Amino acid sequence: MRVAADIRISIDQPCKGFRFYILNKGREMNLCGSISNEVSQHRILIHAEGEETTMQKYIELISKGSPYCKVLSINATPGEVIHCSRFDIINQEPRPIRSIAPDERPRRFAFKIGIFGL
């Protein structure tokens, strides 16, 4: 039976490689869903879908962490099955957009190439 889980993982420090690690492990186990992070709180959010026994093995595996990242806590709750087709990393917190003042805009240079005297 296909089940879904919403997983919150708290880690000791921001580790970009840990998201990629848990993504690869999920793909190896034929899970689908999404992985995002909350940079300010050192937390990773996962929505995963797959078979029930596979999901339990996945949660046990990621709760151990990786060689470079320590998991402080993990909280898995049943989620809604939305029939995802892939397992991907998504960016939850986009970079803030900085507006550029008119006097700070980069200058553009134009060069003309021509043959003179002909």
Mean pLDDT per segment of 10 residues, for the chain of length 118 residues?
91 80 92 85 88 93 87 91 87 52 57 58
Give the C-alpha separation, 84 to 89, whole Å: 13
DSSP code of residue 87: E
The confidence score (pLDDT) of residue 115 equals 65
- DSSP helix/strand/coil, 96: coil
The confidence score (pLDDT) of residue 97 equals 46
In the set 37, 43, 91, 107, the catalytic residue is 37
Q: Taking the domains of the chain in order of start, what are their residue ranges?
A: 2-84
Active site residue 37: yes
The string of DSSP codes covering 11-76 is ESS--HHHHHHHHHHHHHTT-EEEEEEEGGGTEEEEEEEEEHHHHHHHHHHHHT-BTTB-EEEEEE
Give the C-alpha separation, 6 to 102, whole Å: 45
Active site residue 19: yes
Q: Which CATH number fits domain 2-84: 3.20.20.80, 3.40.50.150, 1.10.12.10, 3.30.70.100?
A: 3.30.70.100
Cross-strand bridge partners of residue 6: 47, 77
